Amino acid sequence: MSARHELPISAEDVAVVDTITKSHTGEVQVAVVAPDRKDEPLVTRKYENGEIPAEEYEREESLEKNRISNISTTHSNIGYIVTLCLNLSLLLPLQNNPLVDNYTLVLTNAYWVITGIWWFIFQEPRPGPPLPKGEHYITVGWKQIWIAFKQYKKLPYTFIYLVAFFLLADGLNTTGTLISICQNDKFSFSFLQNTYLGLAQAITSTASTLGFWYIQRYWKISTKKMFVVTNVVTIFIPLWGMIGIWTNRFGFHNVWEFWAYNVVFGLFQAPYYAFSQTMMAELTPPGFDNMFFGLFGLSNRASSMIGPNVIQAIINNTGDNWKGFPFLFALCTAASLVIWFGVDITTGRRDAVAWAEKHRAYAETGVYTEEEDESVDAKEYGKRA
């Protein structure tokens, strides 16, 4: 292992591998689980025939969405495990080779290209409405995003969740980055050691995602309650880092803490990703998934804009990496409180259904008219029981 410490790989390089792995499996999982919604029409027919009440229908529909989201997250983490094991196939036998880290990065990228290209060849056609007259493929998506933004008064809980999730994702993502900075500041973990840490996270992520789904399905727990559990740990992680400001005994100053962080992250933050998607699915108007999940994806990808800049300013002014944790703790706590107490899933879901019914023509034709909004009284939204 001593030879490996002479040429340590940075956390940024490992993050590249993580991103490649998760992005690759995250894209493929959609094709794997999307066709599994074949049982949902049975529940829909029962509801339409008056065999089950609206509350039961909504609960069963929510559980079905959670099933798909959890299965997709499980597939993602299985892919993560496979890729990390692929890394070990080079890191172990060539651990004394000074170029093994570079070889491993090449192998990972080759794996991504070779296995990912088949998605584009064999993906099932899912045609949407034809391009509206006068629109262009380059601009139509941005126009849809703008139209979606303008619905904040009609869909208050959907947009409260989007804003809160933006801040929560910013806090969580920046916390992971800051922990990596602290790790590099205290220790020089090799690529091999970081791969073992990744395996600890990937294996626990797979087990916890399935475990959370089993618990939710068995006791029929709502999506929001499951999401709240993961939020508590999201807050706890930067809180633990704050301890490191006042003592060197705890607060990401020891090797075992980074192992514990990866295990805890896997146990609770993998389900966080699954339930955050389901929360958005429940607050999305039926038939407008692309439009509103486009906003959700934008809020997730663009979330790391506030945290990193604030943290960089704090570290530059104080010279102490650990001084960034209080801000992240406050950010995650504030965002979580908004979600816990400011988002009514039941009302938000019914608002979304009502909005979709008013704009069904837009979903079918892709042509949006202001007249559609005039038929909807904004005061009716956000007040449904």
Q: Does the pLDDT of residue 382 top 70, yes or no?
A: no
Interatomic CA distance for residues 325 and 257, integer angstroms: 15
Mean pLDDT of 115-122: 90
- The answer to which of 11-20, 176-185, 193-202, 243-252 has the lowest mean pLDDT is 11-20
Specify which of 130-134, 220-224, 361-365 reaches the highest per-range mean pLDDT. 220-224
The CA distances from residue 46 to 40, 58, 219, 305, in Å, are 10, 12, 22, 46
Which CA distances in Å does 147 have to 88, 135, 163, 284, 287?
A: 48, 14, 17, 14, 15
- Lowest mean pLDDT, pick from 14-18, 239-243, 289-293: 14-18
d(CA 338, CA 282): 17
Checking if the pLDDT of 375 tops 60, the result is no
Task: Lowest mean pLDDT of 120-129, 258-267, 323-332, name the range.
Answer: 120-129
Which tens digit of pLDDT belongs to each residue from 16-58? 444 444 544 443 333 333 344 444 567 778 887 888 888 898 9
Q: Give percent above pLDDT 90 in the chain.
A: 63
5-9, 85-89, 210-214: least confidently modelled range: 5-9
pTM: 0.85
Residue 379 confidence (pLDDT): 52
**Residue 339: partners with Cβ closer than 8 Å, 6 or more residues away:** 161, 164, 165, 168, 224, 227, 228, 231, 279
Query: CA-CA distance, 380 to 154, in Å (whole number)?
Result: 8
| Structural domains of the chain ordered from first start | 2-122+133-380 (1.20.1250)
Asked if pLDDT for residue 66 goes beyond 70, the answer is: yes
Assigned token pair, 32 = 């794997």
- Three-class secondary structure of residue 326 per DSSP: helix
Cα(95)–Cα(7) distance, integer angstroms: 11
Q: What pLDDT shows up at residue 360? A: 84
pLDDT value at position 15?
A: 43
pLDDT for res 275: 96
Give the CA distances from residue 99 to residues 30, 37, 181, 191, 280, in Å, rounded to whole numbers and listed in that order: 35, 47, 24, 11, 44
- CA neighbor of 190 nearest in space, from 313, 376, 15, 9: 9
Structure confidence at residue 37 (pLDDT)? 46
pLDDT at 123 over 50: yes
pLDDT digits (tens, 9 = 90+) for 74-115: 999 999 999 999 999 999 999 999 999 999 999 999 999 998
- Averaged pLDDT, 257-268: 97
* Distance (Å) of CA 200 to CA 230, 258, 266, 374: 18, 11, 8, 54
Other residues' Cβ atoms within 10 Å of the Cβ of residue 190: 22
Average pLDDT over residues 339-368: 89
What are the C-alpha distances in Å from 150 to residues 160, 284, 370? 13, 15, 11
Mean per-residue pLDDT over the chain, rounded: 85
DSSP 292-315: HHHHHHHHHHT-TTHHHHHHHHHH
Mean pLDDT, rounded, for 270-277? 95
pLDDT over 80 (residue 72): yes
pLDDT at 310 over 50: yes
Residue 280 contacts residue 161 (beta carbons within 8 Å): yes
Tens digit of each residue's pLDDT (9 = 90 or more) over 126-178: 776 778 888 888 888 888 888 888 999 999 999 999 999 999 999 999 999 99
At residue 380 the predicted structure's pLDDT band, cuts being 50, 70 and 90, is: low
Indicate the pLDDT class of residue 67, thresholds 50, 70 and 90. very high
Percent of the chain beyond pLDDT 70? 84
pLDDT tier for residue 381 given thresholds of 50, 70 and 90: low
